[in-house]
Chains A and B, each alone.
Chain A
Amino acid sequence: MVISTQNLTFNFGNQKVVNSLSLQVPQGSIYGFLGPNGAGKTTTIKLLLNLLKTDEGSISVFEKDLKSNRIEILSKIGSLIEQPAIYLHLTGRENLVNRAGLLQLSIRRVDEMLELVQLKQAANKKAGQYSLGMKQRLGIALALLSDPELLILDEPTNGLDPNGIIEIRELLINLTRQHGKTVFISSHLLSEIERMATHVGIINNGTMLFQGSIAELEALNQALLLIEVDNTVDAANLLKRHQYEVAQVTETLVGLPYHSKQQSGEVNTLLVNNGFRVYSIGKQQQDLETLFLSITKQA
């Protein structure tokens, strides 16, 4: 595990912002850390970076205790927290040069990063004049500058246009698949990260509601066989008499839990043989977003 926390707890005054959180982020994964606004995502990230003092519980990163190995661990992490931390009176390039100087990296790396996030044209423009998306890309360049093993990104696609989001997504996938890096990325939109995340943690009110691989999340998500038929109530009764479980009945549709193609065919035949007109029949997956909402609402 690259990040692993045990019963991590943090209070702001009397309010428990993070409540005995146990994160498990495997090596090489893109871990999507999801939750609505105010769920405790940024606070958790600040705890992971030792910006906030842990009230209870422990954090280990790269199998080492964060408190006692702070510098060693931080040297392998690149991070972007909330708004990117950029000196607005310096140019984009100067921001990177400053960081490279502090971390003793070569200037060549600065140009590589500018190229990577496509800020070469605007490199000598003051960062204060950058658009939100450009600032965000500069923030990502700063996070990637030291070629870190672990990237911790807090809502990095804020303010990016769809193209920018796709580029970042591809960059992150490439970093993990080709270079074995690990990415911990927070978002309040599942749709934004479901296409790249390998693992997901869903948090609300400081508590972890779900943690596991994308496949495990999908498994929670049962598909329905939706049948459009002329008389839905009679059709549902017929199906029930034949030991089928009916999940929903509306004026136009009957829904059964989906099991297999075989079963879909049998249901169709049964209905048609009993004189029903079947207009359409098909499998429908509940989208993950709905699932995400239903998970966060349960809490």
Chain B
Amino acid sequence: MKAFLLSLRSEFFKTRKTLAFWCAILLPLLICMLMTIGFLTNAEKMASWPGELLWIRFVGNVLNVMGVLLLPMFTVFTAYSINNIEHRADTWKMLFTLPLPKFTVYSAKYVYALLLIFISLALFVLFTIGFANLLSVIKPGLRFNEYHMEFTLMQIYFKLFLSALGILSLQFLFSLLWKDFLKPMGIGFVGTISGIIMASAGWKYAYLFPYSHPMLALTNMLPRTKTPTQSRQLVINILTDDVYVSLAVAVVVFFAGYFILLKRSIK
């Protein structure tokens, strides 16, 4: 356990000055900030809206940007950059000659990527709440303070987090095996686009395809409603089929990756 924590700390030490780490922080900050600016410039139009609708708009807009395209691509990028640090410097051989169990080195890397995604999504929750409240302070006409959905927000993002884990495991393995940028990023990109198409076309087996999970999680959660009143029935069911598949893929591929690593020669 100690070796695991030391490895995890080392992963942080290595990445703390890289885009891989800062992306996890800047992405939510940037998106929430831009959304806030958008709301500020349109404040007059929304002055009459009830707090609930404002929240749903604000949260929904951020989710539309984040959940559909950005979350899968961010996951792909994180998995890539965590592994690329070793590929680029040719340091795999060094990592595996340290007196640490191979599984510790491997799992610490994986868990670190997982943590980065978790942190990023947690920051989305935090910044959404923060900026929404800030809006109601700057423009009292925007009555964000009249409604609360903090817990719901956490549930939504937690579900998104779980739905991204399948992609994370797959991409982590691709990035571990391939040194170059194009293969894992290409597969990730094609996967994400196909996932979006499958999910939005409503294909009934889309839930079996990990890259469509983030989008499925959103569409299942936020049914497109015609009137604002209907959206009150926002039902958050975290453990749906797509989440189960995502978790199963994540666990299976994680262990498969370890056994592939054991069999492979380290260059």
Contacts and interface: CB of A to CB of B under 8 A. Distances in A.
Given A51-B96, A74-B99, A98 B10 contact: yes
Given A71-B100, A97-B13, A104-B6, A83 B90 contact: yes
Contact of A102 (B10, B263, B266): B10
B118 to A, nearest CB: 23
A46 B266 contact: yes
Contacts of B89: 85-88
A293 to B, nearest CB: 30
B14 A88 contact: no
B100 A53 contact: no
A79 interface: yes
A103 interface: yes
Nearest to A83: B90
A49 B97 contact: yes
Interface string B53-96: 00000000000000000000000000000000100111101101
A77 interface: yes
Contacts of B97: 49-51, 74, 77, 79, 81
Contacts of B88: 88
A75 interface: yes
Given A46-B266, A103-B99, A81 B93 contact: yes
Contact of A85 (B9, B18, B94, B265): B94
Interface residues of A, number: 30
A215 to B, nearest CB: 32
A89 B17 contact: yes
Interface in A67-92: 71-72, 74-75, 77, 79, 81-83, 85-90
Nearest to A126: B17
Contact of A72 (B14, B90, B99, B263): B99
A267 B257 CA distance: 75
Nearest to B3: A102
B98 interface: yes
A74 to B, nearest CB: 4
B123 to A, nearest CB: 24
Contact of B6 (A46, A79, A88, A102): A102
B101 interface: yes
Interface string A51-77: 111000000000000000001101101
Nearest to B266: A51
Contacts of B128: none
A107 to B, nearest CB: 13
Contacts of B93: 46, 49, 51, 81, 85
Contacts of A79: 97
A170 B182 CA distance: 46
Interface string B161-194: 0000000000000000000000000000000000
A87 B96 contact: no
Contacts of A75: 99
Contacts of A98: 10, 13-14
A162 interface: no
A52 B98 contact: no
B246 interface: no
Nearest to A127: B89
A25 B166 CA distance: 48
A275 interface: no
B7 interface: yes
Nearest to A87: B89
A265 interface: no
Nearest to B6: A102
Most buried by B among A52, A71, A97, A99: A71
A12 to B, nearest CB: 9
Nearest to B2: A104
A101 B14 CA distance: 11
A75 B101 CA distance: 11
A61 to B, nearest CB: 12
A79 B90 CA distance: 14
Given A52-B266, A98-B14, A101-B9, A85 B96 contact: no
B7 to A, nearest CB: 7
Most buried by A among B7, B10, B93, B94: B94
A22 B104 CA distance: 32
A78 to B, nearest CB: 9
A71 B101 contact: yes
A141 to B, nearest CB: 13
- Lowest 9 CB-CB distances: which A-B pairs, in order? A85-B94, A75-B99, A74-B99, A85-B91, A51-B266, A49-B97, A52-B265, A71-B99, A87-B89
18 contacts: A46-B265, A46-B266, A49-B93, A50-B96, A81-B94, A81-B97, A82-B90, A85-B94, A86-B89, A86-B91, A87-B89, A89-B17, A90-B14, A94-B13, A99-B98, A101-B13, A102-B6, A102-B7
Given A51-B93, A53-B265, 18 more contacts: A49-B97, A51-B266, A52-B265, A52-B266, A71-B99, A71-B100, A74-B97, A77-B97, A79-B97, A81-B94, A85-B89, A86-B91, A87-B14, A88-B88, A90-B17, A98-B14, A101-B6, A103-B99
